Amino acid sequence: MGKTESQRKKKVPLFGIIQGATYKELRRECTQRILDLKFAGYGLGGLMIGEPSLLTNEMVQICTGLIPKNKMRYLMGCGYPEDILESVEQGIDLFDCVLPTRNGRTGMAFTSQGKVVIKAGKYAEEDAPLDKNCHCYTCRNFSRAYIRHLFNTGEILAGRLVSYHNIHFYMELMTGIRKSIDQGNFLQFKKKTGKNFDFREG
Ligand SMILES: [Zn+2]
């Protein structure tokens, strides 16, 4: 028998969203007031929209310092791998972002060696895959030169292949983060994995 609308709603965790821009006092007050409403988890909104990283970290620390440890914390719009690693260190559990596919569609690949802008002329004859350490469908089957050719000839497959790789890259990153937390060596993982990350724009 199908579930009723109210039965379905009961199973969906509802998150409260904490605002306050980059004002410390407003962040504290908003966090406290949203906590008083007792949600299953808490989203940090109004961040990752171009403010300096130091301010983001400061605001995240204020919020995560107040949210109970057994409640999920979600940093809205956080998507650069280096920002994800930083935020996990500060106690963030959940992320969402358009970057893997938006950048995939325009030819930017996230790789273990850093950013690869596949339309660049230097890849015109390169037989190597997007990421030599990746085992995704794209990297197992296509060279950088071929993917670049697809972009230059306006083939829609180009954006699909890079997006596929990017999503795989993020899945592997998150799996690695979870595993390192379980094994108690997240900080070593962060240092080793993040050393080649240069994805942030500007
Ligand atoms: Zn790949």
Phi, psi (deg, nearest 5) at residue 114:
110, -165
Comparing CA positions, the residue from 5, 22, 78, 67 lying closest to residue 42 is: 67
| Radius of gyration, CA atoms only, the chain | 20
Q: Is residue 199 exposed (0-12), middle (13-18) or buried (19+ Cβ within 10 Å)?
A: middle
Average model confidence (pLDDT) for the chain?
Answer: 94
Q: Distance from the CA of 4 to the center of ligand 1, in angstroms?
A: 42
> pLDDT per residue over 23-39, tens digit each?
999 999 999 999 999 99
> Which spans in the chain are helix H?
5-11, 24-36, 53-66, 81-89, 99-105, 137-141, 144-152, 156-182, 186-194
Q: Distance from the CA of 110 to the center of ligand 1, in angstroms?
A: 9
Q: Where are the domains of the chain?
A: 16-97, 100-167
The pLDDT score that the predictor gives to residue 202 is 52
Q: Distance from the CA of 65 to the center of ligand 1, in angstroms?
A: 37
The pLDDT score that the predictor gives to residue 25 is 97
d(CA 99, CA 46): 18
Q: What is the DSSP secondary-structure string of 156-178?
A: HHHHHHHHHHHHHHHHHHHHHHH
> pLDDT per residue over 35-65, tens digit each?
999 999 999 999 999 899 899 999 999 999 9
Q: Distance from the CA of 9 to the center of ligand 1, in angstroms?
A: 37
Per-residue pLDDT of the chain (202 residues; tens, 9 = 90+): 566 777 666 678 999 999 999 999 999 999 999 999 999 999 999 999 989 989 999 999 999 999 999 999 999 999 999 999 999 999 999 999 999 999 999 999 999 999 999 999 999 999 999 999 999 999 999 999 999 999 999 999 999 999 999 999 999 999 999 999 999 999 999 999 999 898 986 5
The pLDDT score that the predictor gives to residue 200 is 84
The pLDDT score that the predictor gives to residue 7 is 67
To the nearest 10°, the Cα dihedral for 172, 98, 58, 33?
-110
Q: Distance from the CA of 162 to the center of ligand 1, in angstroms?
A: 8
d(CA 167, CA 79): 12
Strand partners of residue 158? none
Comparing CA positions, the residue from 162, 137, 136, 140 lying closest to residue 149 is: 162
Q: Distance from the CA of 187 to the center of ligand 1, in angstroms?
A: 25
The pLDDT score that the predictor gives to residue 5 is 72
Kindly state the greatest CA–CA separation across the chain.
Answer: 60
Structure tokens at 23: 């004002």
The pLDDT score that the predictor gives to residue 107 is 97
